[in-house]
């Protein structure tokens, strides 16, 4: 790829200059080191990496099975297994090369106090930004309860805003009545960016045993199956975020350059890649090349010219199949 095309991929995100609009999503790349063991993979192909969800204390996670393949998707219920914030900051972050790409922390908790303490811990670290995971569908406490309530979401963001000057990204749940209202409340409470969307709640049943396949019964559905849902949510949230210049990480089933372009056109500044990495670790370079080729073909000098460029009629009624 030429220097000019590489430059066209760079995006501004919360004061950070990212080399690519691609963000590797939390839970899909461990703590930033998993895919570096894959021959030919390079962190320089991505704009940022979101580290695995981190809690105040270490967590063992959910019982097996934790992952289940579904048609055009994947269910997971890992349960936020992680070594705890102190270990991540003290032992893992020093091993990461921050000159290759940006690294975002992913903060989880069961109480507002948990979110605050983990955020405070990451504030005193070289991490580039902090993502608040208030919408995790596979833990039994906290998580999704915070993400489905605009009031609770706002309280978490407001409390964490007080203890850090780093960019705050709030990860929004699709499993709620009005994602736009939640987005608005999070922005008003101090969120610098929004990640749209987290996984969709689902389950799978083993017909032979008549038991849930996932040990946690329910889990988060990701992959191409949720892409139409995610795309709509990004467009809806963009309507709220755009007037405040709040960028969006659009995510949910992105596997190709066309997928990524759709999310950017709908209003996302960056695009999250996750599930596709499990079967194609080198997909990021292919997606980057496709985005750059599209920009060149349409005589655009940067991704920013494409963000929110959707040409859609004004919506007056809810769509239905009746």
pLDDT tens digits along 135-193: 765 455 555 567 778 999 999 999 999 999 999 999 999 988 899 999 999 999 999 99
Give percent of the chain with pLDDT exceeding 70: 93
Range of 107's domain? 3-61+77-201+221-305
Q: Which residues pair with 132 in a beta bridge?
A: 107, 170
Per-residue CA distances from 150 to 43, 157, 158 (Å): 35, 11, 12
- 319 in a structural domain: no
Average pLDDT of the residues in 226-243:
98
Residue written as tokens 């998993």? Answer: 34
Average pLDDT of the residues in 113-136:
94
- 84 in a structural domain: yes
- 71 in a structural domain: no
**Distance (Å, rounded) from C-alpha 114 to C-alpha 308?**
35
pTM of the predicted model over 0.75? yes
- In the chain, the number of structural domains is 1
Residue 142: predicted pLDDT: 52
Average pLDDT of the residues in 54-66:
96
- 290 in a structural domain: yes
pLDDT in tens, 244-283: 999 999 999 999 999 999 999 999 999 999 999 999 999 9
- 66 in a structural domain: no
Q: What DSSP assignment string belongs to 11-61?
A: EEETTEEESSSEEEPTTTSTTTTGGGGSTT--GGGSSEEEEEEE-SS-B--
- 169 in a structural domain: yes
CATH assignment of the domain containing 274: 3.20.20.70
Tokens for 18, please give them. Answer: 């990212």
Known catalytic residues?
136
- 113 in a structural domain: yes
- 216 in a structural domain: no
């Amino acid at each position: 790829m030429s220097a000019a095309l590489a430059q066209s991929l760079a995006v501004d995100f919360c004061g950070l200059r990212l080399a690519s609009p691609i963000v590797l999503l939390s839970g899909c790349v461990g703590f930033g080191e998993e895919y570096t063991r894959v021959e030919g993979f390079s962190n320089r192909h991505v704009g940022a990496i979101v580290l695995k969800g981190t809690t105040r204390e270490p967590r063992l996670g959910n019982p097996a099975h934790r992952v289940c393949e579904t048609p055009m998707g994947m269910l997971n219920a890992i349960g936020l297994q992680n070594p705890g914030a102190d270990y991540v900051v003290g032992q893992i972050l020093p091993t990461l090369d921050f000159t290759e790409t940006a690294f975002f922390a992913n903060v989880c908790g069961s109480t507002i106090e948990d979110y605050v303490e983990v955020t405070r811990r990451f504030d005193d670290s070289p991490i580039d930004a902090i993502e608040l995971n208030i919408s995790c569908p596979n833990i039994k406490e906290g998580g999704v309860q915070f993400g489905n309530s605009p009031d609770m979401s706002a309280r978490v963001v407001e409390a964490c805003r007080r203890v850090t000057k780093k960019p705050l990204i709030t990860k929004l749940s699709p499993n709620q009545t009005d994602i736009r209202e939640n987005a608005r409340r999070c922005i008003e409470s101090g969120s610098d960016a929004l990640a749209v969307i987290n996984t969709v709640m689902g389950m799978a049943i083993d017909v032979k045993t008549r038991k849930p396949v996932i040990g946690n019964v329910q889990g988060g559905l990701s992959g191409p199956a949720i892409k139409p849902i995610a795309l709509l949510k990004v467009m809806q949230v963009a309507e709220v975020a755009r007037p405040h210049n709040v960028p969006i990480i659009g995510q949910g089933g992105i596997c190709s350059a066309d997928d990524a372009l759709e999310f950017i056109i709908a209003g996302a500044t960056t695009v999250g890649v996750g599930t596709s990495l499990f079967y194609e670790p080198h997909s990021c370079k292919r997606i980057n090349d496709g985005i750059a080729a599209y920009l060149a073909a349409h005589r655009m000098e940067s991704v920013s010219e494409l963000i929110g460029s959707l040409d859609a009629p004004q919506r007056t009624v809810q769509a239905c199949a009746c």
